[in-house]
Amino acid sequence: MGAVGAQRAAPPHGRVAEPPADSDDRVTATPRLELDLPAVARAFRAFREALPEAEVAYAVKANPHPEVLALLAGLGASVDLASVGELDACLLAGIAPARMSWGNPVKKPADVRAAVAAGVTRFTTDATDDVDLLARLAPGAAVTVRLGVDDDGSATPFAGKFGVTPDGAAALLARARAAGLHPHGLGFHPGSQQTDPDAWRRGIAAATRAVERFGAPVAELNVGGGFPTRHGAGPVPDLTACADAIRGALAAHAAVPGVGTWRPHLVAEPGRVLVADAGVLVAEVVLVTERAGRRWVYLDVGRYQGLAETEGEMIVYRLRTPGHPPGAARGPVVLAGPTCDGDDVLYRHADVRLPLDLAPGDVVEFLGAGAYTASYASVGFNGLPPLPTVIHPAPDHAPRETG
């Protein structure tokens, strides 16, 4: 069992910079997230090998644990920030502002002020008011305009929440330039857990159209995150397939009509694929009962202790029941969380089968749970604490990885 958390100074902006449940106590109770740091390092190296031409900017939101940030920073990752809390967490992890970019197009003046004060100079935008805000508070900053792309194939699509058309992107780049900002790049995110490599091809085609409309090459292309990991039973494309799609589309679109050759600096912002497989969420069965002819299994973890991505059954985790032999007889269940909320049902429709003799006190493990879990946990719904993270190996004994 590893130790939890790390010694830290106060966050620079006086906010909570990470999920607050961590302490130096060892956590053996359930629920808990067991996170294997060497697995994060392996995933990072695999990503870099698959797409060596890209600057890899870790999407902090996937898992902002200080040990994860310190590890990835040591391995040479840049970071994609969404908030002042994430900025603080990265500053505390010793990440240089030159390796940070603010990827969230939705920001308050206070966010921009904090980022500028810390030395962040790269921002993503997708709206005229936001460009104007950046021009006012971050003059001279490098601006990347986010394109809205078709995110079919994503398990958790953005569904139009972010991004503009190629024409809109060209207009925002021009507005940024006129306002004294540097029209630095174009970007898109094909939707998280994207299982169709063609989504990156579509995004790159849209970026090329934006360059054509803008009439000049921009320095950077950000192909977002979205790289999938193995949730559920179905196959997902491997990193090589996604990298090949990116590389192929860049080559196919290198010649931009009226502009010439476009060879942008490539940035990728993986989150899930770097940390998901490093995490196992360990839970315990609280109750098993029959309701309307179905077997309901209630766990001590649910939607509000970190399993937010089960909403709409978007992400179906692989489950393991260590107390039961692999060949144990299994049957379908409805899997539910422990709170009084009717929404706190993880899976009603997904084909989830658990051992027929599963009983209160038995352990159920969620595999591939290192991403978008601990940071999603509520601070205390129904009086239940946020999900603690147990780091392996214990931080004090972990040699810091570099390179």
Ligand X SMILES: Cc1ncc(COP(=O)(O)O)c(C=O)c1O
Query: Which residue among 157, 163, 197, 271 contacts ligand X (CB under 6 A)?
Result: 271
| Residues paired with 216 in a beta bridge | none
Going 156 to 231 to 368 to 67, the CA torsion angle's sign is: negative
* Helix or strand (DSSP H, E) at 117: helix 109-118
The span from the CA of 198 to the CA of 51, in Å, is 16
Stretch in the footprint of ligand X (CB under 6 A) among 23-31, 224-232, 281-289, 373-381? 224-232
With CB under 6 A as the contact rule, the residue among 80, 126, 196, 300 that binds ligand X is 80
Residue at 283: amino acid letter: A
Q: Minimum Å distance from CB 8 to ligand X?
A: 24
Contact stretch for ligand X (CB under 6 A) within 114-122, 220-228, 332-340, 343-351 = 220-228
How do 334-336 and 294-299 pair as beta strands?
parallel
Contact between 175 and ligand X by CB under 6 A: the answer reads no
- Binding of ligand X by 192 (CB under 6 A): yes
> Are the CB atoms for 14 and 48 separated by under 8 Å?
no
**Which listed range, 42-50, 58-66, 302-310, 314-322, lies at the site for ligand X (CB under 6 A)?**
58-66
- Per CB under 6 A, 224 contacts ligand X: yes
Q: How many residues bind ligand X (CB under 6 A)?
A: 16
Query: Does the annotation mark 242 as catalytic?
Result: no
Are 136 and 176 in contact, with CB atoms under 8 Å apart?
no
Distance between CA 182 and CA 168 in Å, rounded?
A: 17
Quick check: 165 and 205 in contact, CB under 8 A? no
Token pair recorded at residue 286: 């609280």
Q: Which residues contact 186 (CB under 8 A, 6 or more apart)?
A: 144, 145, 146, 147, 169, 173, 207, 210, 211, 218, 220, 221, 222, 264
Closer of 24 and 311 to ligand X (Cβ):
311
Instruction: Report residue 143 CA to chain centroid gap.
Output: 21
Is residue 103 a contact residue for ligand X (CB under 6 A)? yes
Residue 231 within binding range of ligand X, rule CB under 6 A: no
Of 221-229, 238-246, 279-287, 362-370, which part binds ligand X (CB under 6 A)?
221-229
Question: Least separation, in Å, of the C-beta of 73 and ligand X?
Answer: 17
Residue 137 or 314 having the CB closest to ligand X:
314
Q: Which residues pair with 376 in a beta bridge?
A: none
- Asked if the peptide bond before residue 20 counts as cis, ω within 30 degrees of 0, the response is no
Counting DSSP H helices and E strands in the chain, the numbers are: 9, 22
CB 62 to ligand X: min, Å:
5
* The one among 148, 185, 270, 302 contacting ligand X by CB under 6 A: 270
Among 123, 188, 227, 381, binds ligand X (CB under 6 A): 227
* Cβ nearer to ligand X, comparing 316 with 352: 316
Among candidate residues 9, 292, 329, 340, the one labeled active-site is: 340
Check residue 164 and report its DSSP letter: B
Q: How far is the CB of 399 from ligand X (least distance, A)?
A: 27
Binding status of residue 226 toward ligand X by CB under 6 A: yes
| Residue 109 burial (10 A CB sphere; 0-12, 13-18, 19+) | exposed
Nearer to ligand X among residue 19 and residue 225 (C-beta)? 225
Residue 100: CB minimum distance to ligand X, A: 13
- For 2, phi then psi, to 5°, come to -90, 175
Q: Is there binding between residue 90 and ligand X (CB under 6 A)?
A: no
Q: Which is nearer to ligand X, 65 or 324 (CB)?
A: 65
List the one residue from 272, 303, 324, 392 that touches ligand X (CB under 6 A).
Answer: 272
Nearest-CA neighbor of 162 among 175, 174, 151?
Answer: 151
Catalytic residues: 340
Residues near ligand X (CB under 6 A) are 59, 61-62, 80, 103, 189, 192, 224-227, 269-273
